[in-house]
Chains A and B, each alone.
Chain A
Amino acid sequence: MADTLAGPVPEVPDSVPEFPMPRSGRCPFDPPPGLKDLQEETPLTKVRLWDGSEPWLVTRYAEQRAILGDSRVSADTDKPGYPTKASPAGGEGKLSFIMMDDPEHARLRRMVTAPFAIKRVEALRPAVQRIVDDLIDDMLAGPQPVDLVEAFALPIPSLVICELLGVPYDDHAFFQDNTKTMVHRDATPEQRGRASREVAMYLAGVIGQRLAEPKDDLLSSIAGRIEAGEIDHQQATEMALLLLIAGHETTANMIALGTLALLRNPGQLALLRETDDPRLVSSAVEELLRYLHITHLGRRRAVTEDIEIAGQVIKAGEGVIMVNEIGNRDPGVFPDPDRLDITRDARRHVAFGFGNHQCLGQPLARMELQVVYGTLYRRIPTLKLAGALEDVRFKEDAFIYGVHELPVAW
């Protein structure tokens, strides 16, 4: 005891937890246990980020929706207090309207909402079904085991976005190669940057062609906005790139991670595989979106005017992080939240966020996932993980959670 008193003064234990927190090794589909503990204790708490800043973490469903729907928060990364993510490139890039506020955000967003209308997305379903079936045919004709990520999960959103944007089929290999590099585990920041620039230049080129000869696709309608003087070529290219990036790794990761979650929950997989009811497939999609919540690390906002929430005032200039992954496990909204149950009504999940920035592509993502989950396990009923779960590597530190590879056999 005496030598402790004579030694250096011990540091006061830190009461502000660090964010992000590590996931537990036990269940790769559950959010970090630290988040669950915080959710139980309090709706709002300060956390410390990579740069020493201390934004508020919002852990419960009701408060998350309230803040995301409030006009007193900003999605602009330049606003004081915005809680930035650490990244080798130095924070997330400001790409088109995703990090803008209204009215400019709304003005740009409305230029690209038309193809995501429910009826328009439905009209694409047969094309998506063909893409999915062709890829399954190729897998079945090829060797086992196969990496589901490379052979199936990544190409699907890539090909679908090509359809939507109006990228000629002949160019899809170039497109897929570059988009694969943009999300590849082993790609360096330089390689990612180069791939991104190649795709951007390509999209700018196609937009130029559509200015001269419009067709019935999204790149043509974006070109039309340049014609009308509403945006310039650079803004148009950024919007096209945003749509490409936003819908790519997200959907791919849901396909692979969702498949793994179902393989680990064989009762649920059997229900899904054996159903003739498209409503159960729909329900499974919503439940997997809720349960997996791959866009982890939180929806981030800077507060621009004082907001009172859960008896606390968050002041202008402070930051807030809505960790929707734990909101989706709020027992007050989803009973027995840590159980995967494709028969529950999970429609009110916040996997696509909430408020004016809620995912624009969600109708397309839902339709793609309905087709995938409704087709893959019926066509390959004996699908199984090739190798041990312990060997599967998860994208813990990436912006979008998922698996790096998923070796499967049948």
Chain B
Amino acid sequence: MKVELEADKCVASGQCVVAAMDVFDQDDEGIAILLEETPAPELLDDVREAVAVCPAAAIRLVER
């Protein structure tokens, strides 16, 4: 599974970091950064949570 992040849509809520801190971080302005495009399977539930809570719908989890 691949994680796609559209940083242009990001409103810096930080909720992806809270949900999946091994997969997302924030830059100096608080805009999301994708740390791991193909996270390990045990992290996928966290990523799904991040997808669900992102207020900007900026994160997608897709089949590779």
Contacts and interface: CB of A to CB of B under 8 A. Distances in A.
B26 A117 contact: yes
B56 A69 contact: yes
Given A69-B57, A347-B53, A118 B11 contact: no
Nearest to B28: A114
Q: Which secondary structure characterizes the binding site on chain B?
A: loop
Interface in A122-153: none
A118 B55 contact: no
Contacts of B29: 110, 113-114, 117
A61 to B, nearest CB: 12
Interface string A335-368: 0000000000001100001111110101100000
B30 A116 contact: yes
Given A118-B14, A118-B17, A347-B49, A113 B56 contact: no
Q: Which of the four size classes fits the interface of chain B?
A: 20 to 34
A119 interface: yes
B51 to A, nearest CB: 11
Given A69-B55, A358-B13, A113 B30 contact: yes
A109 B14 contact: no
B11 A109 contact: yes
A347 B11 contact: no
B5 interface: no
A106 interface: yes
Task: Tell me if A's interface is mostly helix, strand, loop or mixed.
Answer: loop
A322 B13 CA distance: 20
Given A114-B30, A116-B30, A119-B26, A363 B52 contact: no
B52 A348 contact: yes
B18 interface: yes
Contacts of A113: 11-12, 29-31
Nearest to A69: B57
A103 to B, nearest CB: 11
A357 B53 CA distance: 14
A356 B56 CA distance: 6
A176 to B, nearest CB: 28
B19 interface: yes
A273 B50 CA distance: 29
Contacts of A353: 55
A363 B21 CA distance: 14
Contacts of B49: 347
A390 B31 CA distance: 46
Contacts of B31: 110, 113
B52 A362 contact: no
A196 B53 CA distance: 34
A121 B55 CA distance: 19
B17 A347 contact: no
A349 to B, nearest CB: 10
Contacts of A114: 28-30
Nearest to B15: A362
B14 A363 contact: yes
Interface of A: 68-69, 106, 109-110, 113-114, 116-119, 121, 347-348, 353-358, 360, 362-363
Given A116-B14, A347-B49, 8 more contacts: A68-B55, A69-B55, A109-B12, A118-B14, A347-B19, A355-B56, A356-B56, A363-B14
